[in-house]
Structure 1
Amino acid sequence: MPSTIVTLKLNGSERELIARPSTTLLNALRETFGLMGVKRGCAQGGCGSCTVLLDGRPVVSCLIPVVTVDGSAVETIEGLADGDRLSDVQQAFVDLFATQCGFCTPGMIMSATALLNRKPDPTRQEVTEAICGNVCRCTGYEPIISAVLTAAERRRGARVEPVEAEV
């Protein structure tokens, strides 16, 4: 099959690439766009280190042919921060020492972000289920789960409900 032009909304910006049918989303993100936060781990979909958000849902990018996501929105770890300001999930990982070697961290953060975007008040069990496809070999899961729950709590605390003025 011939190469195809693929258009993505990548971290909020329209981007194009020419891709062969065998090019994975992971390879396109790393090799074409230089986004090294997306990690190449097992290349079999089992470790979660390459997790990105595809139209808001966490996916392992190593298994997805990039030509199948034409017109989709892709968000990577690089798209979460606002300039020098980390996202709430990234900041919670830093504050609660939820990383050690850091290899799994981008995938964990993307899975956690997807969870909190769809469920602002998750239970511990829901956090565990959301990150079950992400393997961590160093840090252990307790600080990671705590970081996700802390980010959720901070998000809820940051929401300001409209208050009627007293007359």
Structure 2
Amino acid sequence: MTESLDSTRAAAWRAYIEASQRLVTQLEDDLRADSDLSFADYHVLVLLSEAPGQRLRMGELAGRLVFSPSRLTYQISSMQRRGLVSKEACPDDRRGSEAVLTAAGLLALAEAAPHHLASVRTHLMDDLDDAEVACLTRVFERLGHRLRAARSTSTTHTTSQGATDARDHR
């Protein structure tokens, strides 16, 4: 049986869960009110705007967003219908496809960014001092790195195990 959290860690966990959910909900509400973009739309637009050629392979984009392939397909299809992105075959590998930022998507991002930044500042950053910002950065970079590595290891293990299982059942 797993050992329970001590009261200090339990309080930290609950505070994190409740505050992070409230923060994401508030940022999403503000973003939708100011731009008609969802938080997921905005994140896709940011990642594509920062990518070389403003395009990313669908698998890489799914990994960076922490989306399943089906969730990304749904997200990109929704954004395509609104003209924010297009989906194109990869120039170097016709089997794959890329999400590509459109001019309309770049304009939507440029219009939404100042309002979103103001929301992030108001609801999070302006309430933190420099030491707290540094602490949050260290903690979440470390956790993010560890969780990405663990997911990569489990995906590799699952894929290899699936291949082994498939060979065993031939």
TM-score by length of 2: 0.30
Q: Which has the higher strand share?
A: 1
Larger Rg: 2
TM-score by length of 1: 0.30
Q: Which has the higher helix share?
A: 2
